[in-house]
A and B are shown apart, each in its own frame.
Chain A
Amino acid sequence: MISIQSLSHHYNNGPILKFPDWEILDEEQWLLLGASGSGKSTLLNIISGLLKPENGQVKLNETDVYSLSFKEMDRFRGQNIGIIFQKPHLIKSLNVFDNVALASSMADLKINKSRVMDLLSSLGLADKTKNYPEELSQGQLQRVSIARALVNNPALLIADEPTSSLDDENAEKVIKILTQQASDNHASLIIATHDKRVKDKLNKEYLL
């Protein structure tokens, strides 16, 4: 469902980054491994439609992502790709429910209240829906950001270094949640990491 072909990119005065071809099938779960500076984030940005590569093609469900206009690409990303960042990056002026629902309205989709509630309760946040981000712990915030990434039923879930600032116990929990949620929601999963603790958790690896 996702394929990248002969991708390469280079920043203004950096070296040329070349990415091996990659094909991800429906509901497959992959680790994207590589040392820092190897181009992990660049590749994720290219796949999620945030950064146009110099050469090559990204196809998601037969859509050539970079043949879309800017606006279409924004929409496409919102509806098909859920992204979890290193930091939760929630909107401080909105409560937990609204933060998750925001993902739907930003992608021009209708807000499905029961979907939001189901997701939040499956992540153990049922009683936090009316709370504001500053009232939550770091772990709770990250789970909210996972709910936000999943609310639109994306075909692909991307997590960028989700464990880097967590201790062993929480790192394991987060990986468990991500794999669990991805398969529950029938989404493919890419976890980009250089964290050794994550390595043996998923069976497919893409090495940079």
Chain B
Amino acid sequence: MNILRLSTKNLLRNKLTTFLNIILVAFGVAILSILFLASTQIGNKLEQNAKDIDLVVGAKGSPLQLILSSIYHIDFPTGNIPLKDATELMQNPMVKKAVPLALGDNFQGHRIVGTDSGFVGLYGLKLAKGKFWTKDLEATIGSSVAAEAHLKVGDKFFGAHGLSDASDEHKHHAYTVTGILQAQGNVTDNLILTNIGSVYKMHEPEHDEGETHTEDAEINNKEITAILIQYRSPMSVVIFPRMVNQSTNMQAASPAMESARLFSLIGVGIETLKWFAVLIMAISALSVFISLYNAMKEKKYDLAVMRSLGASQFKLFSLVMLEGLLITVSGAILGLFIGHFALQVIGDYQESSQARLTGFYFVNEEFYLIVAGLIIGVVASIIPALQTYRVDIASTLSKEK
């Protein structure tokens, strides 16, 4: 019969109070852990997807939208830019690497991205099977696409117009899967890559009605969605975007700046939730304190008996401390469990596969949550525990109960 077993038995005797206290601690910890986990995961995803990309150039509109659509493939594109202007910009001496993107079609919700081989280099893509696309209508697909749409190398599929819905299929041309990418843990897992020519081909019939184009006009009319740009030197950060924004009909947006802006927008909500969780944990500390304090009245006899049986004052002090700590630490552990479980459930129900959250992810902050549980336990039980030193055994036991 050590004091651990004794305090467990004491807690089990007041099941409902113990349960309430554990739940309170658990909720506070669960909310905080969800916040920690989700924000780290989202932050990591944002960072991974935007790494090595210094600037995105696209049609004028919301810079955030431009970033979201051409890097994270979440939102709709701001519009198109003329291929001629884009090519000019791509040849600018300040640009080290430029990758064109032509968006507009999807297959079962996975975006079809018309691009060139620069995209492979930019994201460091590696093949799991097959080879990269070379000709029109060949496609290399991300690992999640292959898994979710059950596509193998050599399979054919039809793209649909738009970025998410499948009602308007391009029945004239079928894509052939030539390769499947290794899982990268970023947005490319959910993309279908092809060349820009394929995307043009899909939309060609519309041009063919009636009018005839000269070769020159043809090029002039061609459009792409955006360009991903890597600078040659960090100096360009200041000059290049300004040049694009002022002297062309396009806009330049920096992924780093826009992500930061996005985070500061949702940051208010996160901050509020954080304080809410801290408040819950404070209330839980108060509740544990009140329960222990109230229990002391009844426990005074138990403690006096134990003293008379030979228990030292320190032993009884530890007994009461342990009761508080058991509640808060098991609450903290339960809270972490709830947090991870909730996040996994959220992830399963999430629609946008690009930013899917998972419960099987651990961050260092969780360790601090356990420490927080310990601290709450100490704070809540120290006063009741110190009272054990003031129990006068002799007079307590000779009094009528």
What is the interface of chain A, defined by CB distance below 8 A to chain B? Answer: 41, 45, 48, 50-51, 70-71, 74-79, 83, 85-87, 89-94, 98, 101-108, 111, 148, 160
B309 to A107, Cβ gap below 8 A?
A: yes
When distances are taken between beta carbons in the complex, the residues of chain B under 8 Å from A83 are 308
Chain B contact-residue range equals 20 to 34
A45 to B394, Cβ gap below 8 A?
A: yes
Q: A85: nearest residue on chain B (CB-CB)?
A: B397
When distances are taken between beta carbons in the complex, the residues of chain B under 8 Å from A78 are 309-311
A89 to B311, Cβ gap below 8 A?
A: no
A93 to B13, Cβ gap below 8 A?
A: yes
Query: CA of A98 to CA of B307 in the docked complex: distance in angstroms?
Result: 16
What is the interface of chain B, defined by CB distance below 8 A to chain A? Answer: 1-2, 6, 9-10, 12-13, 301-302, 304-315, 393-394, 397-398, 400-401
When distances are taken between beta carbons in the complex, the residues of chain A under 8 Å from B1 are 94, 98, 101-102, 104-105, 111
Query: CA of A75 to CA of B398 in the docked complex: distance in angstroms?
Result: 21
A50 to B310, Cβ gap below 8 A?
A: no
When distances are taken between beta carbons in the complex, the residues of chain B under 8 Å from A104 are 1
Q: A40: nearest residue on chain B (CB-CB)?
A: B398
A75 to B394, Cβ gap below 8 A?
A: no
Given A51, A76, A90, A105, which contacts B394 in the complex, CB threshold below 8 Å? A51
6 pairs, CB–CB < 8 Å, chain A vs chain B: A50-B308, A76-B310, A83-B308, A93-B12, A102-B6, A107-B310
Chain A nearest CB, measured from B14 CB (Å) = 9
When distances are taken between beta carbons in the complex, the residues of chain A under 8 Å from B9 are 93-94, 98
Query: CA of A5 to CA of B211 in the docked complex: distance in angstroms?
Result: 127
Please judge, given known A-B contacts A101-B1, A105-B1, whether A70 and B401 are in contact too, CB under 8 Å. no
B394 to A50, Cβ gap below 8 A?
A: yes
When distances are taken between beta carbons in the complex, the residues of chain A under 8 Å from B304 are 89
Q: A80: nearest residue on chain B (CB-CB)?
A: B310
Please judge, given known A-B contacts A91-B305, A98-B1, A105-B2, whether A71 and B312 are in contact too, CB under 8 Å. yes
Chain B nearest CB, measured from A199 CB (Å) = 21
Query: CA of A85 to CA of B307 in the docked complex: distance in angstroms?
Result: 13
Please judge, given known A-B contacts A50-B393, A92-B13, whether A87 and B311 are in contact too, CB under 8 Å. no
When distances are taken between beta carbons in the complex, the residues of chain B under 8 Å from A48 are 308
Query: CA of A87 to CA of B302 in the docked complex: distance in angstroms?
Result: 12
When distances are taken between beta carbons in the complex, the residues of chain B under 8 Å from A108 are 310
B394 to A148, Cβ gap below 8 A?
A: no
Chain B nearest CB, measured from A165 CB (Å) = 9
Query: CA of A87 to CA of B401 in the docked complex: distance in angstroms?
Result: 8
Given A51, A74, A76, A89, which contacts B301 in the complex, CB threshold below 8 Å? A89
- 3 cross-chain pairs, A with B, having the tightest CB-CB distances, nearest first: A78-B310, A107-B310, A93-B13
Q: B306: nearest residue on chain A (CB-CB)?
A: A106
When distances are taken between beta carbons in the complex, the residues of chain B under 8 Å from A45 are 394
Please judge, given known A-B contacts A51-B394, A101-B1, whether A89 and B312 are in contact too, CB under 8 Å. no
Q: B305: nearest residue on chain A (CB-CB)?
A: A89
B310 to A89, Cβ gap below 8 A?
A: no
When distances are taken between beta carbons in the complex, the residues of chain B under 8 Å from A70 are 312-313
Chain A nearest CB, measured from B277 CB (Å) = 32
